Chain A
Amino acid sequence: MIVPLMHLLIFASILFALGLICVLVWRANVIMLLIGIEIMLNSAMLVFVAGSSYWSMADGQVFALMIIAMTSAEVSLALAMVVYLHRRKKTVNVDEFRELRD
């Protein structure tokens, strides 16, 4: 393996932290929230692939493929929801949508 496992883990953690910060900070836009979630998922996927290549087992790569499939399904749903929400309130600010409470 050309890249050491530790580097990949550190890189993935940085990626994860970036995604997390994006989710926490950027609450004015639901699309940025989705992007943050995507970044975190990608960092998880990276760890899977890194592990798979470190132990030379295919399982991790297979799981990464599963995550890709799941992510695409999730994004298609989420984007549809964004369009729908935007149509209802003309805003994408997350905190505007509090109807679940009432």
Chain B
Amino acid sequence: MKTALELIVLLPLLGAVFNILLGRFLPRRAVEVTACAAIWGSFAAALFAAGAYSGPTVVEIGAWLSSFNLKAPITFYLDSLSLSLCLMITFVCGLIHLYSIGYMRDDPCHIRFFALLNLFVWAMLILVLAENLLLLYLGWEGVGFCSYALIGFWYKEVKNATAGRKAFIVTRIGDIGLAIAIVWLFKLFETLSITRLNQMGQMGPPVSVEVITALGLLLLLGAMGKSAQAPLMVWLPDAMAGPTPVSAQIHAATMVTAGVYLLMRMFPLIQISSVVVAAIAVTGVFTAFYGAACAIAERDLKRILAYSTISQIGYMMLAVGCGAITAATFHLIIHAFFKALLFLGAGCVITAMHHEQDIFRMGGLKRTLPTVFRPFLAGALCLAGVPLTGGFFSKDSILAATWAQGGVFYGTLYVVGMLTVFLTAIYTFRMIFMVFGDRETALQPSRKMPHSSLQPVPRIMERILIPLALLALAGGLFNLPAYLGSGLLDSFLAPLNGKGGHLSHATELALQGLASIVALAGIGVAWFYYGHRHQRRELRLALAEQPPTGIVAFLQAGWYVDNLYHFLFIRPFKWLSAILWEGVDEGVIDDSLDRVAVQFGRTGQFLGRWGSGRVSVYMLSLVAGAALMIGWFAWEIL
């Protein structure tokens, strides 16, 4: 078991180090093979660990930080949650690595790309397996760094570099919350071990509920930054500047699920405070609604998917807020499958369209790219929550858990969640109809397409979509609802769940029926406006030519949150910086220093008459003087 865990984590790191050090001496194929082999080896090790798994285990790999009473060894904690996430991460990232071979086939910087991609997986695996919070923080920051470097991968364009910096800075705001929480937890409990902290949480901690509330809110702040939850969600749509496989990896497996994972991991401790639990649920449901509402007006294919990620992560947060860790994990895994699928499919579409990303300028791809269309449609069905797909079961388990909590508060959350299901179905199929629907009515592609023919998509990129599509469609089998037999994940993850109501089979069926009706209604609305060849579709297209107005502009600009932050934070910051720079720094400090310097200069000129002016002579005399003094002391002692 120990070897398996070591291999899971070490292989991606070794792959990255190998490519960084030796990549430039090797042919391109060798670099690609190393990167992929590292991840698939890690997946094999994870499979082995799953086979040998018999119960939660803590494995100490080695010593790390140890200073007085602070102990943070490299210790891994393998329980059902971290094991299932490890399997998912290594598998999905393995597919994404294979896909990258096709996507980056003409890029001269492939070594940097693959090394960072491997490092990204390594950081996420550390985060997931860490047994103490400090090790988790190492992975947390590692993920942050890799996302920064990969979002700004094509850093020669200013826009991309800015997007990378934005992602880094916004997540850093959340990281502050996490860092404070970690230090505070250590001060209170004198331990950073996650298992010990959670044990204390279950036994009733020696501190008051208010302190736990504050700690929980700080952890939530960290999760908000990493998982792009309101109000720190502004970085994710801009993070689309990176290469598409990176977006897929960030959204599906590595980066954004880290926040949800943190809250799931610490849930036994933070559930003591009902305020925190409610705050998590509200954050989740608000973000879910925000993401879906923005996606409905967005025109950039990748940004639609980014908003849908924000929205889906919101659902996971809602599940955590309802104490339904199983539902959150279930949705996390299914989401990883279908979101990776959608992003990789979008990558194929964008490659074929000569890097055109506006969905109003696409169309007709159903005929010209059938191998992409079918898997992409599977992913879209999953995202929209069409009955019997994996996405339907996972989303429904979250909504059912919300309903089961009962009361007005959770009732409202349920209604908003259901509304979001409706919006999700609309924007998903708006995207499908615009991208794959009829060609004749679409706007002419802009500057980027030299001729109307499609660029061929590498075979490997299309092949990768198939296993993901199968997993996304059949994902429901991992965790069937109670009336169809017991769920696999349910029994696996049961000990982690918080307290929640229990639903009868009839209620659950009724809820699922309602959810499927809502989802199908959403698809119907999308069909009505964008689907068939009709004036309404042409009206939409005509409107798309003009600059957006009213609510569309509001939604397209992401509710103007960016402008709001610019007004609230960046403008005052610039103003303050200007004062500090021109008034304080140049006016007071520099000026006074200048005067002091002038004074010193005069004195120096006066004293300089006795010196030689050569630094080396001064140095030598300094050393000689010191030697003389030391010699004198030694003489005295002897």
- Nearest neighbor of A58 in chain B, beta-carbon distance: B68
A22 to B611, CA, bound (A): 23
A101 contact from B67, B611, B623, Cβ within 8 A: B611
17 A-B pairs whose Cβ atoms sit less than 8 Å apart in the complex: A23-B619, A24-B620, A27-B616, A58-B68, A94-B616, A95-B614, A95-B615, A97-B615, A98-B612, A98-B613, A99-B613, A100-B608, A101-B608, A101-B609, A101-B612, A102-B605, A102-B613
Q: B631: which A residues are within 8 A, CB to CB?
A: none
Residues on A facing B (Cβ under 8 Å):
20, 23-24, 27, 33, 58, 61, 94-95, 97-102
A94 to B612, CA, bound (A): 13
Q: A97: which B residues are within 8 A, CB to CB?
A: 615
Q: How far is the CB of B367 from chain A (nearest CB, A)?
A: 62
B608-638: which residues lie under 8 A (CB-CB) from chain A?
608-609, 611-616, 619-620, 623
A83 to B29, CA, bound (A): 43
Q: How far is the CB of A40 from chain B (nearest CB, A)?
A: 11
A102 to B612, CA, bound (A): 10
Q: How far is the CB of A92 from chain B (nearest CB, A)?
A: 12
A33 to B615, CA, bound (A): 10
Contact of B56 with A by CB under 8 A: no
Residues on B facing A (Cβ under 8 Å):
67-68, 604-605, 608-609, 611-616, 619-620, 623
Given contacts A24-B623, A100-B611, 9 further A-B contacts (CB under 8 A): A33-B615, A61-B67, A94-B616, A98-B612, A100-B608, A101-B608, A101-B611, A102-B608, A102-B613
Q: A23: which B residues are within 8 A, CB to CB?
A: 619
- Nearest neighbor of A99 in chain B, beta-carbon distance: B613
Query: Is A95 touching B68 in the complex (CB atoms < 8 A)?
Result: no
- Nearest neighbor of B612 in chain A, beta-carbon distance: A101
A61 to B613, CA, bound (A): 38
Best-buried of B609, B613, B615 by chain A (most CB within 10 Å): B615
A64 to B485, CA, bound (A): 62
Q: B612: which A residues are within 8 A, CB to CB?
A: 98, 101
Q: B619: which A residues are within 8 A, CB to CB?
A: 23-24, 27
Q: How far is the CB of B275 from chain A (nearest CB, A)?
A: 37
Q: How far is the CB of B261 from chain A (nearest CB, A)?
A: 32
A20 to B620, CA, bound (A): 10
A94 contact from B67, B605, B615, B620, Cβ within 8 A: B615
A99 to B615, CA, bound (A): 11
Q: A94: which B residues are within 8 A, CB to CB?
A: 614-616
Q: A61: which B residues are within 8 A, CB to CB?
A: 67
Q: A100: which B residues are within 8 A, CB to CB?
A: 604, 608, 611, 613
A14 to B353, CA, bound (A): 64
Q: How far is the CB of B607 from chain A (nearest CB, A)?
A: 9
Q: How far is the CB of A95 from chain B (nearest CB, A)?
A: 5
The 5 A-B pairs with the shortest beta carbon distances in the complex, nearest first, are A101-B613, A98-B613, A27-B616, A94-B615, A101-B608
Q: How far is the CB of B186 from chain A (nearest CB, A)?
A: 15
Task: Answer whether A98 and B614 are a contact pair too, CB < 8 Å, given A20-B623, A23-B619, A24-B623.
Answer: yes
Q: A33: which B residues are within 8 A, CB to CB?
A: 615
A33 to B68, CA, bound (A): 36
A102 to B609, CA, bound (A): 7
Q: B615: which A residues are within 8 A, CB to CB?
A: 27, 33, 94-95, 97
Q: A58: which B residues are within 8 A, CB to CB?
A: 68
A97 to B615, CA, bound (A): 8
Q: How far is the CB of B247 from chain A (nearest CB, A)?
A: 36
Q: How far is the CB of B621 from chain A (nearest CB, A)?
A: 11
A79 to B56, CA, bound (A): 53
A100 to B600, CA, bound (A): 11
Q: How far is the CB of B613 from chain A (nearest CB, A)?
A: 3
A75 to B606, CA, bound (A): 29
